[in-house]
Structure 1
């Protein structure tokens, strides 16, 4: 999906791509909503759904914009810092205990991000900064989801996310609007289908297994980003990028493992499928 975004961003603005990703994703998921009926939209926490969707909209716009200006591998590697930001946020906002092992994992993970960005050593990469901003916003959304799963089902969380993020991404898209041609329409439709399908597959993965089992499979995104970045865009990442990515992935996997040990499997699955 990231390669598709990067490819289309050569002709269309990233904000417009984000809107069509949500629009076509909503169309793909409509049968799911119909099957669940109107009950899927029943909620007493609309305000939290709105804030969560706003955070995810900011995260998506930042990340899509970053993909138009930074190598795929670097963007993919830095996107895995979201659980690290969530770990910090859980302590600050939710009052969770900060144990030594978590502190070490966070230091290692953010150290990996510094290896990739290398501030003061190489010129600041605006795309890399945007990915980190996106990860921080997504982390806040994850913390809100964690609180909402006490009363909201995964179906309700998904339904409101799709319904709210489509108009939210339309507003910035209108400011840079350009009508897509026939080729763009096909690519945008493919993006919506791939995005919705990957969301469903990941949700099923978290439903069937705990996070420590599923996340290593998600880490293969880095391999695909390396291959597609090289084949499609001629990108050859530096050794610093892979070194930093290794630290980030290791820290994220450790945090996921500790979290899955601490929570019942059903609760972990709910959080992952959101």
Structure 2
């Protein structure tokens, strides 16, 4: 699979999103009382180790260019990681992932607030329908801290997707990812020491597995968007929700109900329609920023379209 044709690029994205869901599964297998900050620290260290082979893509002469913004984005991302872990442990896999799809909707709102962008009628409909879909999925009677954590993770991803516009343009994806994790490692270490939880082999396995499979997702994304315009294949990323239903059903006996199906449709369908509308209007760049946590939204794509699915 070279990703040089539309069909092969779509297949890569389908496989990539399956790998991302496996990353979520490693988190979901954690116990409810698992030390979250220990997980975050290990996730940082392991991810940095996995990125080391790509050190040549770092601009060592200007390693800390945009350092203040990298620091802010990194710590927002840390909040997102903690929220993601709580959400995945407590919520059904498909439910948590459906709520994560609120991120591109939040990107649209943040772009209006901070960059003065105007929403089209379809984008406004997507915002209203998306948030209504979240309420349908979670339902006020079932609302919990886990639901708020899922929304918090989506908000963190959306904020980072918007802030990436301010980062130095010449920095490579690997450079941005490396600084992101490097900047939050001291905080993660401090939080882990404050947590003072006993060392857990299960947390180590979870952090290693989730980091490795997210890297696999990133590789698939890079290959898929390297030769093919994003607007031709980006809708394939929404297969992540299908994988979430399948994996949740097979491994955790989580059967989606009619509320989940209706709410998911209210979130995803308008986003797909926006993608189709943009495809008809103009071609989009074929560059795709790496998503760090399965945020179904890569920053540069979010910048271009304001609607795309990264936890």
How far apart are the structure 2 equivalents of 1:42 and 1:214? 33
State the partner residue of 1:170: 189
How far apart are the structure 1 equivalents of 2:106 and 2:261? 20
After TM superposition, the runs of 4+ consecutive aligned structure 1 residues lying more than 6 A away are none
Is contact 2:231–2:284 with CA below 8 Å preserved after alignment? Answer: no
Cα distance change, pair 254–162 in 1 and its aligned pair in 2 (3 A): farther
How far apart are the structure 1 equivalents of 2:220 and 2:187? 25
Cα distance change, pair 140–9 in 1 and its aligned pair in 2 (3 A): same
State the partner residue of 1:189: 208
After superposition, residues 218-233 of structure 1 pair within 5 angstroms as: 218-233=237-252
Please state if 1:55 is matched with 2:76. Answer: yes
State the partner residue of 2:42: 20
State the partner residue of 2:150: 131
Instruction: Note the aligned Cα RMSD (angstroms).
Output: 2.7
State the partner residue of 2:134: 113
Cα distance change, pair 265–117 in 1 and its aligned pair in 2 (3 A): same
State the partner residue of 2:285: 265
User: Once the two structures are superposed, what CA deviation does each residue of 1:33-80 show, in whole Å capped at 9, x if it has no partner?
Assistant: 2x3355375343111111111111111111111111111000011101
How far apart are the structure 2 equivalents of 1:59 and 1:184? 18
State the Cα distance separating 1:100 from its structure 2 match: 1.6
> Gapped runs of 5+ residues in structure 1?
none
State the Cα distance separating 1:251 from its structure 2 match: 2.3
How far apart are the structure 2 equivalents of 1:211 and 1:29? 25
Cα distance change, pair 237–15 in 1 and its aligned pair in 2 (3 A): farther
State the partner residue of 1:180: 200
* TM-score, normalised by the number of residues in structure 2: 0.77
How far apart are the structure 1 equivalents of 2:36 and 2:190? 13
Select between 4-13 and 76-85 the one with higher mean Cα deviation: 4-13
User: Once the two structures are superposed, what CA deviation does each residue of 1:65-118 show, in whole Å capped at 9, x if it has no partner?
Assistant: 111111100001110110000000000011112222211121121121111122
State the Cα distance separating 1:204 from its structure 2 match: 3.6
Please state if 1:7 is matched with 2:26. Answer: no
Cα distance change, pair 50–256 in 1 and its aligned pair in 2 (3 A): farther
State the Cα distance separating 1:244 from its structure 2 match: 0.7
How far apart are the structure 1 equivalents of 2:242 and 2:35? 26
How far apart are the structure 1 equivalents of 2:58 and 2:82? 30
Is contact 1:211–1:257 with CA below 8 Å preserved after alignment? Answer: no
How far apart are the structure 2 equivalents of 1:100 and 1:141? 25
Is contact 1:40–1:156 with CA below 8 Å preserved after alignment? Answer: no
User: Once the two structures are superposed, what CA deviation does each residue of 1:142-193 show, in whole Å capped at 9, x if it has no partner?
Assistant: 0011232545332321221121233333333333332123x65444322221
SS of structure 2 residue aligned to 1:202: helix
Q: 2:115 aligns with which of 83, 94, 98?
A: 94
Is contact 2:221–2:288 with CA below 8 Å preserved after alignment? Answer: no
After superposition, residues 186-265 of structure 1 pair within 5 angstroms as: 186-257=205-276, 264-265=284-285
Cα distance change, pair 178–257 in 1 and its aligned pair in 2 (3 A): farther
SS of structure 1 residue aligned to 2:142: coil
Q: 1:152 aligns with which of 154, 168, 171?
A: 171
